[in-house]
Structure 1
Amino acid sequence: MEWQSDILGPGFQSSAFEAVGRDGIRRRATLVRFTPDALDAQDPRPSAPRRAVLFLHGWSDYFFNVELARFWDGEGFEFFALDMHNHGRSLQPGTHGGYVADLGNYDAEIGTAVSMITDSGGGGPVQLVLMGHSTGGLVAALWASRNPGAVSHLVLNSPWLEMHRSALVRRAAWTMVEPIARLRPEAVLRLPERGFYWRSISNSADGEWTLDDAYRPPLAFPVRAAWLSAILAGQAKVARGLEIQVPVLVLLSAASENGMVWNEEMRRTDAVLDVNTIAARAVSLGRSVTVERIDGALHDVFLSRAAVRDDAYGRLARWIRGYAT
C-alpha cells in the first residue's frame, strides 16, 4: 500500500489498488484519506480507540467534499473515501464511466478498503462507520447487510433505495430493462438528460463547489442497461428487508423537485430522487433507523447552502454522539 499526494491538496492522500471480484475480474479503485496530523504536527491526534468512517460516493461522482472530511475529523474519526471502479480517480481509458453490471461487484474493493483502513493503524481493532450518498448509499446498505459485524454504524445521505413514486414503477422498469440487460448489457438507454443537480452545486453554474467535469460530468455518464438492471435488483432487495443490525441514519431533503424544466425550487430541494418514497422505504433497512428531513437541502445534503449544511451537520453530530460514542 503506497500513499500519494491527492488532487485535493495538503491534508489528503490517495492510494490506488486492484481488487478481484467474485466474478474473477480485477478492478481498480482508489482510497482517499484525510491526514490532518500532517497539517499540524504540533497537535497530533490523541491516543484513543480507533474510530474511522469510509465514505462511498454516488453514481457518476467522486469524493471532493473537504468540509465533510474535516467534520468527521472534528468528531474524532479518521476519514477515508473510496472512489469505486469506473468513477473519479479510478477511471481508466477505454472503460465505461460509472458502469457496473451487479452492485455486488463493488464488494471486493469495499472489503479491500476496509482492510487498508485497519492496516493503516497497525492492524488493531477499529470502530468503522460506513457512509454512502445516493447510489453509494444503496451500495453501502447492501454491503452492510451482506457483511454483518463489519461496520458499527451506517450513515446514508439521500440513498437511492427506491424508484420514483412506488415499487410499481420499479417493477414496470424491470420488465422493460431486464431483457435488454441480458442481451446487450452495455447498451445505452436513451433517457432524458437533466443537468439540474449539477447546476445547483457546481461553481461553473449556480453552485459553490469546484468539480472536475471529467470525474463528475454535468449530464452524468450514459445510462446502460445492465447498470439500471443492477440498481433495480438492489432496490428490490431493500424492499424485501435487509435486517441490518447496526444503527442507521438516513438524511434527506424535506422536499423533491423532479420536473423536466429548471425552476428555482431546485436550489433548495432534491432534484434527483423522490424523498418521500425514500423516507418510507428506509424502514426496510433494519431495526434501528433514524430519518432526518432537512429543510432546504439538495440531493447531497452536505452540498446545500451553508445554513442548511450547518443544520445537517448538527443533526449528524447529535446522532453520532447518541449512537457512536
Structure 2
Amino acid sequence: MEWQSDILGPGFESCAFDAVGWDGVRRRATLVRFTPPEAPDALNPQDAPPAAPRRAVLFLHGWSDYFFNVELAHFWEAQGFEFFALDMHNHGRSLQPGTHGGYVADLGNYDAEIGTAVGMIAGSGGAGRVQLVLMGHSTGGLVAALWASRNPGAVSQLVLNSPWLEMHRSALVRRAAWTMVEPIARLRPEAVLRLPERGFYWRSISSSAEGEWTLDSAYRPPLAFPVRAAWLSAILAGQAKVAHGLDIGVPVLVLLSVASENGMVWNEEMRRTDAVLDVNIIAARAMSLGRTVTVERIDGALHDVFLSRADVRGDAYGRLARWIRGYAA
C-alpha cells in the first residue's frame, strides 16, 4: 500500500486498497489522511516528553458522496487527533469504471474495508494502541453505527452527523417500503427505482449553485446516483436493526438540525434546515443506539451540519469540542 498526493492538495494523502468481504468479493476503497506540517520550532526527539496514547478519527461519508471537508480535518487535528477519512467502494476516489456509483447490496459489505482502514490507522504511527473515534454522516452514520455494534471494543467513541437511522415519519413507512422493495431486490437487485429526483441539498452546499463548497460533480453528482433496489433494501434492513436496538457500548454523539424541510419544490427554508431527513424521527431513533447517547440539535443546520453557514457550523464545532472534552479526553 502506497500513499499518494491527494486531490485536496498539500497536507492530504490518499491510499487506494482492496479488501475482500465476507462474500469473497474484492472491493476497492481509498483511505485519506491529513498530514499537517510540523511546527518549525518542534522539539527534537530526545527533548520530547513521553508520547501520549495516539488518538485518531475515521470519517465515513454519506451516500453519493466523498470526503472533501478540509475544515473538518483541521478541527480534529486541533483537538489532538490524527484525521483519516474513507471513500468507501463505489464512491468518490474509489469509483471504478463499469461499476454502479453508490451501489451496495448489503451494508455489511463495507465491513472489510472499514476493518482494513482501522488496521492501517493503527499501523501508521508505530506501536501502541490507538484511541479511535468513528464518525459518520448520513448513510455513513448508519454504516458506522452498525459497524460499531458488530465490532465491540474497536472504537472508543462514535460521532454521527445527521445519521440516516430511520425513514421519514415512522417505522411504518419503512415497513411499507420494505414490502414493496424486497421482492424487486431479490429478483432484480440492480434494478433502478424510478423515484423523484431532488437536488435541493446539493443546491444548498455547492459553490456552483447557492452554497460555498467546491464539489467534484463526478464524485458528488447534483441528483445523486440512481437508486437501485438492493441498495434501498440494504438501507431498510440496516434501519430495522437500529430500531431493534444496537446496544453500542461506547459514548455516542448525534448531531442534527433543529428542523427539516422535505418539500418537492425549492424554498428558502432549505438554506437552514435538513432537506434530506426527518430530523425528529432521527432524534427519537438515536435512543436505540446505546445507553450513553447525546443528541445535539443545531439551529440553522443543513443535512451535513458541518457544511452549514459559518456561524452555524461554528456552533456545531463548539458542541462537538465540548463533547470531546467530556468523553474523549
TM-score, with length taken from structure 1: 0.98
Q: Secondary structure at the match of 1:81?
A: strand
Residue 133 of structure 2 contacts residue 159 of structure 2 at CA under 8 Å; is this kept in 1?
yes
Q: Deviations over 1:219-254 (max 9, x none)?
A: 000000000000000000000000000000000000
| Amino acid aligned to 1:4 | Q
Residue 12 of structure 1 contacts residue 33 of structure 1 at CA under 8 Å; is this kept in 2?
yes
Partner of 1:34: 34
Q: Secondary structure at the match of 1:151?
A: coil
CA distance in 1 between partners of 2:249 and 2:52 (Å): 25
Partner of 1:74: 78
Partner of 1:207: 211
Matches within 5 A, 1:80-229: 80-229=84-233
CA distance in 1 between partners of 2:265 and 2:251 (Å): 38
CA distance in 1 between partners of 2:194 and 2:64 (Å): 17
1:123 positional shift: 3.7
CA distance in 2 between partners of 1:129 and 1:13 (Å): 20
1:269 aligns with 2:283: no
CA distance in 1 between partners of 2:52 and 2:36 (Å): 16
CA distance in 2 between partners of 1:280 and 1:117 (Å): 33
CA distance in 2 between partners of 1:62 and 1:37 (Å): 24
Residue 53 of structure 2 contacts residue 128 of structure 2 at CA under 8 Å; is this kept in 1?
no
1:37 positional shift: 2.7
Partner of 1:23: 23
Residue 37 of structure 1 contacts residue 43 of structure 1 at CA under 8 Å; is this kept in 2?
no
**Unpaired segments of 5 or more residues in structure 1?**
none
CA distance in 2 between partners of 1:192 and 1:25 (Å): 32
1:42 positional shift: 4.1
1:41 positional shift: 5.0
Matches within 5 A, 1:218-297: 218-297=222-301
Q: Deviations over 1:178-209 (max 9, x none)?
A: 00000000000000000000000000000000
Residue 12 of structure 2 contacts residue 32 of structure 2 at CA under 8 Å; is this kept in 1?
yes
| Amino acid aligned to 2:250 | V
Partner of residue 313 from structure 1, selected from 296, 313, 317:
317
Q: Deviations over 1:29-80 (max 9, x none)?
A: 0000000136x45447983210000000000000000000000000000000
CA distance in 2 between partners of 1:62 and 1:155 (Å): 17
Q: Secondary structure at the match of 1:320?
A: helix
CA distance in 2 between partners of 1:58 and 1:206 (Å): 20
| Amino acid aligned to 2:157 | H
Q: Secondary structure at the match of 1:131?
A: strand
1:6 positional shift: 0.3
CA distance in 2 between partners of 1:22 and 1:75 (Å): 35
Partner of 2:3: 3
CA distance in 1 between partners of 2:37 and 2:291 (Å): 37
Residue 16 of structure 2 contacts residue 29 of structure 2 at CA under 8 Å; is this kept in 1?
yes
Q: Secondary structure at the match of 1:53?
A: strand
Partner of 2:302: 298
TM-score, with length taken from structure 2: 0.97
**Unpaired segments of 5 or more residues in structure 2?**
none
CA distance in 2 between partners of 1:279 and 1:186 (Å): 31
Q: Deviations over 1:109-143 (max 9, x none)?
A: 00000000000011421000000000000000000
CA distance in 2 between partners of 1:50 and 1:159 (Å): 27
Q: Secondary structure at the match of 1:182?
A: helix
Go from structure 1 to structure 2 and tell me whether the alpha carbon gap of 1:41 and 1:232 turns closer, same or farther (over 3 Å shift). farther
| Amino acid aligned to 2:135 | M
Residue 181 of structure 1 contacts residue 229 of structure 1 at CA under 8 Å; is this kept in 2?
yes
CA distance in 1 between partners of 2:58 and 2:292 (Å): 20
Residue 132 of structure 2 contacts residue 156 of structure 2 at CA under 8 Å; is this kept in 1?
yes
Partner of 1:65: 69
Q: Secondary structure at the match of 1:318?
A: helix
1:280 positional shift: 0.3
Residue 169 of structure 2 contacts residue 278 of structure 2 at CA under 8 Å; is this kept in 1?
yes
Partner of 1:12: 12
CA distance in 1 between partners of 2:52 and 2:30 (Å): 27
Q: Secondary structure at the match of 1:37?
A: coil
1:275 positional shift: 0.0
Residue 256 of structure 2 contacts residue 298 of structure 2 at CA under 8 Å; is this kept in 1?
yes
